[in-house]
């Protein structure tokens, strides 16, 4: 070898990337599924921590409403359930009070179930429960709404 000559290195065969082996779209789908699985694991861990520290948290009415209510009808339903008290109220009676929103009794029950699902997903509590055929706020939500009413009265 001469000093002035450039030495040619042997080129290593370049390996194909994972996306070129299985296809770009399928590879992106696998990455997305893995990311979503990790997010679900993080949400589960968060719910476990919240459940363990449940006694230390103080939830307020605006937080609960923001978490479970999608629109004004849901807020009205929760307020009517609070006004009904411990005994609860029939979905039929709730729908009669919500005539301007054109909500029938089946939609009222469906909305309450969805609100329960949203709150259970966040903090592991239910908004309302069935007592016979009646819907009533759970003791958890009744306490939150009661504290909000006390604060409102103290403010005035």
* Mean pLDDT computed over 41-59: 85
Q: Label residue 47 by pLDDT band (50, 70, 90).
A: confident
Q: Label residue 31 by pLDDT band (50, 70, 90).
A: very high
Domain hosting residue 30, numbered range: 20-55
* Dihedral class, residue 4 (left if φ above 0, else alpha if ψ from -120 to 50, else beta): alpha
How far is residue 31 from each of residues 15, 19, 20, 38, 138, measured CA to CA in Å? 20, 10, 14, 11, 41
Residue 55: per-residue pLDDT: 77
Both 41 and 100 in a single domain? Answer: no
Q: Which helix (H) or strand (E) holds 128?
A: strand 128-131
* CATH code where residue 139 lies: 1.10.10
Both 27 and 48 in a single domain? Answer: yes
* Mean pLDDT computed over 96-101: 94
Residue 18: per-residue pLDDT: 83
Asked if residue 15 belongs to a domain, the reply is no
The whole-model pTM stands at 0.70
Asked if residue 80 belongs to a domain, the reply is yes
Q: What is the number of structural domains in the chain?
A: 2
Domain limit, last residue, from 10, 33, 55: 55
Q: Using an 8 Å Cβ cutoff, are 141 and 64 in contact?
A: yes
Q: Is the pLDDT of residue 147 over 90?
A: no
């Amino acid at each position: 070898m001469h000093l002035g000559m450039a030495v040619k290195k042997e080129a290593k065969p370049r390996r194909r990337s994972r996306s070129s082996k299985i296809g770009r779209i399928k590879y992106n789908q696998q990455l997305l599924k893995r990311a979503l699985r990790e997010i679900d694991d993080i949400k589960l861990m968060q719910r476990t921590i919240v459940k363990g520290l449940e006694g230390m948290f103080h939830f307020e009415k605006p937080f609960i409403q923001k978490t479970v209510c999608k629109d004004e009808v849901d807020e009205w339903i929760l307020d009517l359930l609070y006004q009904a008290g411990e005994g609860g109220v029939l979905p039929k009676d709730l729908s009669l009070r919500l005539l301007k929103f054109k909500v029938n009794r089946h939609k009222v029950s469906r909305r309450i179930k969805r609100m329960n699902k949203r709150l259970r997903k966040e903090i592991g509590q239910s908004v309302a429960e069935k007592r016979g055929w009646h819907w009533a706020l759970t003791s958890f939500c009744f306490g939150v709404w009661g504290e909000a009413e006390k604060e409102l009265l103290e403010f005035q």
